Amino acid sequence: MRLTRLVSAAILSAAVSSVALADEPSNVTSQNQANRLAIFHDYGISAIGSTAANMPGDSGGGIISPFMGHYASTEPVKTFRPWYISATPVVGYDDNPEASQAQTSSIFAGFDLAAGYGWQSQEAYPILGPLWSANVTYDLQGAVYEGNVKQANVLQQNVRAEAQRHFLDEGIVASGYLGDSYTNYHGYSFANSLDLGGAVEGFVLPQLSAELGYDYSHLQYFYSTTAPQDPDTERNFLSAALHFYTLPQVTGAIPEAPDRFTEILRETFNRATLRFGHLWNKSDGQDYSMESNRLTFGLEGVHPLNVRDVYFDFLYGHEWQVYQHPNSIAPPSLTKQPNARRSDHLDIITLRANARLFDLPKGRGTMLAFLQYDMIHDWSNIAVRNFDENIVSVGVTYRY
Q: Is the confidence at residue 214, as pLDDT, over 60? A: yes
Instruction: Concatenate the DSSP letters of all residues of 55-112 into one string.
Output: ------SSTTS-SSS--SSSSPPS---SEEEEEEEEEEEES-TT-SSS---EEEEEEE
Please, is 355 exposed, middle or buried when counting C-beta atoms within 10 Å of its C-beta (0-12, 13-18, 19+)?
Answer: middle
First-residue to last-residue Cα distance in the chain: 33
Q: What is the pLDDT of residues 287-313, one digit of tens each?
A: 899 999 999 998 888 887 777 788 888
Show the CA angle centred on residue 61, arms to residues 216 and 217, nearest 5°: 10
Q: How far apart are CA 53 and CA 87, in angstroms?
A: 7
Confidence of residue 383 (pLDDT cuts 50, 70, 90): confident
Alpha carbon 323 to chain centroid distance? 24
Closest by CA position to 352, among listed 86, 32, 7, 92: 92
How far is it, in rounded angstroms, from Cα 30 to Cα 117?
35
Q: How much is the pLDDT for 8?
A: 41
How confident is the model over 133-167, as pLDDT tens digits? Answer: 888 889 899 999 887 666 678 899 999 998 888 87
The pTM of this model reads: 0.85
pLDDT of residue 245: 86
**Calpha distance 39→235 (Å, rounded):** 13
Q: What Cα–Cα distance (Å) separates residue 103 from each residue in 244, 269, 293, 342, 393?
A: 39, 36, 28, 22, 18
Phi, psi of 264 (to 5 degrees): -65, -40
Contacts (Cβ under 8 Å, ≥6 apart) of 322: 290, 291, 292, 341, 343
Find the range with the poorest average confidence among 67-76, 128-137, 249-258. 67-76
Phi-psi category of residue 61: left, alpha or beta, with phi > 0 → left and psi -120 to 50 → alpha: left
Yes or no: say if 393 and 381 are a contact pair by the CB < 8 Å rule. no
Asked whether the beta carbons of 73 and 309 are under 8 A apart, the reply is: yes
Burial class (CB in 10 A: 0-12, 13-18, 19+), 269: buried
Residue 349 has phi, psi (to 5 degrees) of -130, 130
Q: How would you class 49 by CB atoms within 10 Å of its CB: exposed for 0-12, middle for 13-18, buried for 19 or more? A: buried
Residue 20: predicted pLDDT: 35
What's the mean per-residue pLDDT of the chain?
80
Greatest C-alpha distance within the chain: 76
- Helices then strands, counting H and E runs in the chain, come out as 3, 16
In the predicted model, is pLDDT for residue 91 greater than 90?
A: yes
Mean pLDDT lowest among 135-144, 237-246, 329-338, 345-354:
329-338
What percentage of the chain exceeds 70 in pLDDT? 80
Q: What is the pLDDT of residue 252?
A: 66
Query: Which residues fall within 8 angstroms of residue 373, CB to CB, at 6 or more apart?
Result: 349, 350, 351, 352, 390, 391, 392
Spell out the domain ranges in the chain.
2-399
The CATH homologous superfamily of the domain defined by 2-399 = monomeric porin ompg (2.40.160.40)
